[in-house]
Amino acid sequence: MQRMSTLFLRTLRDDPADAEVPSHRLLVRAGYIRRIAPGVYSWLPLGVRTLGRVSRIVRQEMDRMGGQEVLFPALVPRDLYETSGRWTEYGDLLFRLQDRRGADYLLAPTHEELFTTMVKGELSSYKDLPVTLYQVQTKYRDEARPRAGILRGREFVMKDSYSFDLDDEGLQRSYDAHRAAYVRIFTRLGLDHRIVAAVSGAMGGSASEEFLAPAVNGEDTFVQCTSCDYAANTEAAEVQAAPEQDPSTRPPLQVLDTPGTPTIETLVAVLREQGHDLDASQTLKNVVVTLRSPGGAEELLVVGVPGDRDVDLKRLGANVEPAEVVPFDDFAGHPGLVRGYIGPQVLADLGIRYLVDPLVVRGSAWATGANQEGRHAVGVVMGRDFEPAGTIPAAEVRDGDPCPRCGSALSVDRGIEIGHIFQLGKKYANAFSLDVLGPDGKPVRVTMGSYGIGVSRAVAAIAEQCNDEKGLVWPRGVAPFDVHVVAVGKGDDQRVAAERLALELEEAGLDVLLDDRGGSPGVSFKDAELLGVPSILVVGRSLAEGTVELRDRRAGTSTDVALADAVTAVLADVRG
């Protein structure tokens, strides 16, 4: 039993000035966390209890799916990360330091290198596989801009696991097992979550899905179908394209004088004046970018998207990995590209690669640049007047776009990335030559899966989803206590009865918080609501009639129960 009179806690009456999002505001106000440096937080007893409950659920489910826990140093020497290439690849995101002899170390941002070398050191036979190892520990990333309290910190607790398999089929089984375990974990955590298709990003690998907790303050944007179960990160999102048409049935291309129309808006206005009934969605916007490959080589690329949409640089960027998209403005160096009047008709001749968003289909007719200052062309048909080198998802995805599976409207929403699973493949196995001997005595290169859960971030994500104007409202599984017993009233009777009930509840196996401070009732009630324990048992004025009050924090309801039935009622609440 924890008594409020001795609990290391101070709640704040005012919101901290530096906190914007609810999770940050409330976790600080309710005394769960305190800021130490940008993106670095201390956890107070209430916070530790909640973080501990979240970690325990994660561990239980990882163990249940056959994972085995290991613990790595946070402080690791440079050479391991030199071997994998990440000492340089990670760039400024890596916390680096030196020991007294000047040897380079880093604070691990993630532990692929350690997992891989550990397995390499211990296992050497195909009979040892498959195996899944996991860790729950603090990791470090020198984020350019930490924000929103523990939602995006520079030091954070993460569960990372890795599966080691002999072949793709094994990897798929490990991946599926993790996916199922993650669903159980997030369900037990009380998190509303979505599994969305993702791009695997800089980590390489193929199949990749993210677990997102929908929240208005989330940093990730994703789409979900309003009628089927399709969901994807915007980077990976697909949109159903219009049907293709036969290019030969289209009216011929026509070049028009459209002076002073370097933007879609001005173009549409002028075309309308000239009697062409068009809107922006029937224009083709061609955006020039430079692609810089990891080796430093640069290539010009023009991307075509419907004119009523912007290019989504994140989406485009994710689809040109590992190359990087760099803004282009060297029109002087490329006289063939007429700023504001670029059309795809001549790009092939200029030797410039042209890709279109999948919304631009064969046989579609467009108003677009005529590659001369002040001139545009209408009736420009893909497959007749130009032929792109391919398609690339680059246009912004919008609410109402058709679902690629069923054609219903997609909805665009924000979410917090709480988990990411993907098939890493052989990147690290290759870097560290991780082989085991196969049945035929020949080495087999191991294939890996990588699966992460942001544990401290999950605490913030839960707080983000579970709060009201009064404070936090924890789901049962993660609340710092199962029940919050509040004694109010000036007499000793309430205090004595509350003490006895708290003891009985504890004996029944519950984690009990007892407010024995004896201050004014308002303070106790406000604090109880702020802290967010889901069941609040009030021992107050109705004690004279032999009853106590059992409140449901979430519903805001209150039930009178006989003193003798109180323990049973709380247990039913907590376990029900």
Least distance from C-beta 99 to RNA, angstroms? 24
Helix (H, G, I), strand (E, B) or coil at 563: helix
Cα–Cα distance for residue pair 126/445, rounded to 1 Å: 10
Check: CB of residue 524 under 8 Å from CB of residue 474.
Answer: no
- Is residue 412 a contact residue for RNA (CB under 7 A)? no
Within 365-394, the residues that bind RNA by CB under 7 A are none
Beta strands in 15-84 (DSSP E): 33-37, 40-43, 68-69, 75-77
Burial of 232 (0-12, 13-18, 19+ CB in 10 A): buried
Strand partners, 131: 164
Residue type, 100: R
User: Which stretch, 59-67, 68-76, 139-147, 473-481, contacts RNA (CB under 7 A)?
Assistant: 139-147
Residue 68: CB atoms within 10 Å: 11
Q: Cα 258 to the chain's mean position, in Å?
A: 45
Distance between CA atoms of residues 250 and 565, nearest Å: 80
Q: Does 12 bind RNA (CB under 7 A)?
A: yes
State which residue, 9 or 278, has the beta carbon closest to RNA: 9
d(CA 40, CA 47): 14
Which of 1, 3, 15, 74 lies at the binding interface for RNA (CB under 7 A)? 15
- Binding status of residue 202 toward RNA by CB under 7 A: yes
Nearer to RNA, 129 or 418 (CB): 418
Distance CA 282, CA 439 (A): 61
Per CB under 7 A, contacts with RNA among 102-121 are: 109-110
| Nearer Cβ to RNA (239/421) | 421
Exactly one of 70, 74, 93, 287 binds RNA (CB under 7 A); that residue is 93
Footprint of RNA on residues 486-545 (CB under 7 A)?
488-490, 518-523, 525-527, 529-530, 538, 540-542
**Residue nearer to RNA on the CB measure, 317 or 425:** 317
Structure tokens belonging to residue 441: 């005595």
Which residues are CB-contacts of 483 (< 8 A; sequence separation ≥ 6)? 505, 510, 511, 512, 513, 533, 535, 536, 537, 570, 573, 574
Closer residue to RNA, CB minimum distance, 160 or 357: 160
Among 22, 31, 39, 306, binds RNA (CB under 7 A): 39
The count of residues interacting with RNA (CB under 7 A) is 61
- Residue 534 one-letter amino acid: P
Q: Looking at 55-63, 177-185, 296-304, 484-492, which segment touches RNA (CB under 7 A)?
A: 484-492
- Least separation in angstroms between CB 542 and RNA: 5
Interface map 306-345 toward RNA (x if CB under 7 A)? -------xx--x----------------------------
Specify the residue for token string 């909805």.
411
* Residues of the shown chain interacting with RNA in the complex, contacts defined by CB under 7 A: 10-18, 20, 24, 35, 37-39, 93, 109-110, 139, 141, 143-148, 152, 158, 160, 200-203, 219, 313-314, 317, 420, 452, 454, 470, 488-490, 518-523, 525-527, 529-530, 538, 540-542, 549, 558
